Amino acid sequence: MWIFREEEIRRVVGLDGDAIAAVEKGFACLAEDGVTMPPILRVDIPEHEGEVDVKTAVIHGESLFAIKISSGFFANARLGLPTGNGMMILVNAVNGRMEAVLMDNGYLTDVRTGAAGAVAARYLAKQETDTVTVIGAGTQARFQVKALAQVRNVKRLRVAGRDSSRVERFVREMEQELDILVTAAVHAEEAVRGSDVVITCTPASHPMIKTDWLEPGVHVTAMGSDAEHKQELEAQVYRRADIWVCDSVDQCARLGELRSVREAGLLAENAHVPDLGSLVLGRENGRVREEQITVCDLTGTGVQDTAIALLAYRRLREVGAGIQVEGAIQ
């Protein structure tokens, strides 16, 4: 078995075109029924605002697949601790042996989640994406913005968040890293109105984005709702949207914004909701008109984890990183 440390993983995997392509291919495989992906296993620890998730998926034809354990303890921000953590185990799909442990502390999850946002924007955002709003000022907000900048020419960035000190730090860092104008908004409505892309990155349990804030041409990537108790968008946004896409329709109907839509009685029994992989494959249309309002509901899938873990493992082996412990397959 190989063991790889976070610093080794960070050296070989970044939020780049290869990472986005790997996740995009994973979505395509999922849409083609080329993936075995069970439901997420989740343990909630509400007294500490925490949750632990286990995700996995086998991509047919690959000799390895990932099992990921990730945690989100959102009160940690008040303690000066990271809100997320995690690790991935690579399992041999042929004989079941444990091949590698990626001790990434949640870094690969951040990368693949950002990459999913980039894939969504590639098919659903306007080509001219000047003004972007992000709700939330944490780690994933940074990854989402940096990923979007890989596929669209972002000129102005607005950020809204509850913690003013975190928002100020976000503004300083993103201005320096992206060399664009970044401003802090006092209210979410102020940030959202007039934006070309809106990205929501919070663990909110009540909707923060109102339907009438969304103007023609906007694209919304909603990636905070990944559990039954979370919701970032008003359910009526579903009716306002011209296109609503999910990373996994079944999963979003249980855990994502689509769950809130269904519970509000707004989702017809015969409603057709496409998944992101269908757009990648060209089976469904993404944005075709400038004025369309589009939404991508991202809950985070096991296929993304396997896709990014395989990319990391191959690069790590190429550069001779890691340590091998007894029991590895020779």
Q: Quote the tokens at residue 308.
A: 């990014």
DSSP track, 209-265 = B-GGGPPTT-EEEE-S--STT---B-TTHHHH-SEEEESSHHHHHHHSHHHHHHHTT
- Which residues are paired to 129 by β-bridges? none
In order of 13, 216, 316, 321, the CA distances from 6 in angstroms are 10, 42, 11, 11
| pLDDT of 330 | 46
Residue 54 burial by Cβ neighbours in a 10 Å radius (0-12, 13-18, 19+) = middle
pTM of the model: 0.94
| pLDDT of 116 | 99
251 pLDDT exceeds 50?
A: yes
| pLDDT of 327 | 60
| CA-atom Rg of the chain in angstroms | 19
Mean pLDDT of 262-269: 94
Average pLDDT, the chain: 96
Q: What is the pLDDT of residues 184-237, one digit of tens each?
A: 999 999 999 999 999 999 989 999 999 999 999 999 999 999 889 999 999 999
Single-letter residue type at 217: G
CA distance 308 to 315: 11
Q: What is the pLDDT of residues 38-95, one digit of tens each?
A: 999 999 999 999 999 999 999 999 999 999 999 989 889 888 888 889 999 999 999 9
